[in-house]
Amino acid sequence: MGNISEIKHVGSKTIFVTAALAVMLSQQNSGRPEPTCAALPKEAAQVARDFLFAFSRNDRDRVKAMLPKRLDNLYGPCPFARMPETTKPRADTRTGAVDFEGPMADPGLPKKGIILLRYVEEDGLRTWRVRQLYWYSKLPPEAEIPERSPTAADRQQEPHVQRAALDFLEAWLAGDYARMEALTFHWWEVPRRPPKWVKMTGADLTARPTSLDGLRVDFAAKLRVLRLLPKSVQGNLWLVQEDGEWKVRPLTFTFVF
Q: Tell me: the pLDDT tens digits for 223-236?
A: 887 766 667 778 88
Q: What is the pLDDT of residue 100?
A: 97
Among candidates 70, 187, 173, which has minimal Cα distance to 132? Answer: 187
Report if residue 162 sits inside a domain.
Answer: yes
* Longest alpha-carbon distance in the chain: 52
Report if residue 3 sits inside a domain.
Answer: no
Please tell me the distance from the alpha carbon of residue 214 to that of residue 21, in angstroms, as a whole number: 27
Report if residue 2 sits inside a domain.
Answer: no
Dihedrals φ, ψ of 224, to 5°? -125, 120
Range of the domain at 181: 35-255
Report if residue 1 sits inside a domain.
Answer: no
Dihedrals φ, ψ of 248, to 5°? -115, 135
Total Cβ atoms within 10 A of residue 46:
12
Report if residue 21 sits inside a domain.
Answer: no
3-state helix/strand/coil string of the chain: CCCEEECCCCCCCCCCCCHHHHHHCCCCCCCCCCCCCCCCCHHHHHHHHHHHHHHHCCCHHHHHHCCCCCHHHHHCCCCECCCCEEEEEEEECCEEEEEEECCECCCCCCCEEEEEEEEEEECCEEEEEEEEEEEECCCCHHHCCCCCCCCHHHHHCHHHHHHHHHHHHHHHHHCCHHHHHHCECCHHHCCCCCCCCEEEEEEEEEEECCCCCCEEEEEEEEEEECCCEEEEEEEEEEEEEECCEEEECCCCCEEEC
Q: Which residues of the chain have pLDDT under 70?
A: 1-36, 138-146, 227-230, 255-257
Q: What is the pLDDT of residue 74?
A: 95
The count of structural domains within the chain is 1
Report if residue 79 sits inside a domain.
Answer: yes
Report if residue 7 sits inside a domain.
Answer: no
Report if residue 40 sits inside a domain.
Answer: yes
Q: 255 pairs with which residues across the strands?
A: 235
pTM: 0.80
Q: Tell me: the pLDDT tens digits for 100-140?
A: 999 999 877 889 999 999 999 888 889 999 998 888 776 65
Q: What is the pLDDT of residue 2?
A: 42
